[in-house]
Amino acid sequence: MVGHAPCRFRRTANRATGRLLPQVLIATGLLVGVTRPAVGTVVPQVFRVDLPVSRLAAGVPEAEIRRAARVLLDRITGDPDLAARGSVNGLLAESSQWVAEYGYKKMPGRLKGRGDTSRSPFRLWIRFGHRAVERAVLGAHLPFWGELRPLLLVWLDAGSQSREILSASSPSPLRRHLERTLHRLALPALLPVMDLRERLQIRGGSLSPPAWPLLRKVSKKYRPEALWVGRLTGSPAGGWLGVFALRIGHFTLDWKSQRPHVHRQNALQSAVDHLDSILASRYAVFAEHEPVRLSIRIRGRLTLRRISRLEHFFRHLPGVTQAHLRELASKSLTFTVLSRIDRTHLRRLMALAGPGITLKPETEHGHRLVFALQP
């Protein structure tokens, strides 16, 4: 399984000074390296897995489906100890039932030797059915993190002698490694352009400790939901250490390496895996009961764009199906949904309804929930 590297971090702070109010993205793919402002939030590639293979086949071998399913489960649970859970083997045994479509594509390069597929000329891609995977994972009482994911803007001092911050156009192998790692975990992210203005405003010293007011100001044009800040440094004893921080709304979390990593790429990859676990702990859901029909009313000033965003949002909520717009008035609308998740999870996920949309829980009467649309 393509899994998490051993976590070599300890937390240095854990502050939640307010509500989590990230905006939502309507992403058409992973956004690593994109230099324009992002305008999206759904990451469709979550359920598509690409694997190197040594040859073409008429179908997909069962072993390859299971290998792809392990990658998928790593993405949607954010659990570094997933392999230790007994229910995983049962899920992998039924993973062939999740396959929606597949195909092969030819890639440049030749095999280095027998059994070495690192430069395989072929890649197998498998797209798993979203709802089939969701039913299986929630049915196994595992955490499920679907296509709704916050956009990250990455400010990283890569530890070079010049203390340059990694940019979207950097020729550094570390940038390519970061992109591959983020893609493996289906985390949408941007690297800054680092034009002249950004170079003058943001320097390595702004990242450790993070100068949050300055970083938020400079980051505004990218429209991120979260800022991930880090600095890699060489250890006097050899190897690489890292200091990192994540900010989502008013939530801030800092951590650093407990001991050195041999290579700089290992330090960064371990940090990304730890980041993935943190995000999954905030956005993944569990199935708590049998499906329940809920009525969700949203009050406030509605525009056609906001209504469209809300419809799009409900269609992609994890653990929620059969979303219908039942009633529409000048200052309110009502959706009906079939929900398999606890209402605490649902209220927390409603904070993801943006961009430009903030939903505040108001009242709850039986199966009827009311939210206020904040300006």
> 257 has which bridge partners?
9
Q: How confident is the model at residue 291 (pLDDT cuts 50, 70, 90)?
A: confident
Percentage with pLDDT > 70 across the chain: 82
Least confident of 35-39, 283-287, 302-306, 329-333: 35-39
Q: How confident is the model at residue 108 (pLDDT cuts 50, 70, 90)?
A: low
User: Region 250-255: what's the mean pLDDT?
Assistant: 90
Q: How far apart are CA 155 and CA 136, in angstroms?
A: 37
pLDDT (tens digit per residue) in 207-241: 989 999 999 999 999 988 899 999 999 988 889 99
Tokens of 70: 């392990």
Q: Where are the beta strands (DSSP E) in the chain?
A: 9-16, 48-53, 99-106, 122-128, 152-157, 189-190, 226-234, 240-248, 251-257, 287-299, 320-328, 332-341, 358-365, 368-374
Percentage with pLDDT > 90 across the chain: 42
User: Region 79-99: what's the mean pLDDT?
Assistant: 79
Is pLDDT above 90 for 25? no
Beta-carbon contacts of 298 under 8 Å, excluding residues fewer than 6 positions away, are 310, 332, 333, 334, 335, 359, 370, 371, 372, 373
pTM as predicted: 0.76
Is pLDDT above 90 for 37? no
Better-predicted residue by pLDDT, 26 or 228: 228
Is pLDDT above 80 for 84? no
Contacts 24+ apart (CB under 8 A), 361-364: 362/299
pLDDT of residue 119: 61
Closest CA to 288 of 201, 234, 348: 348
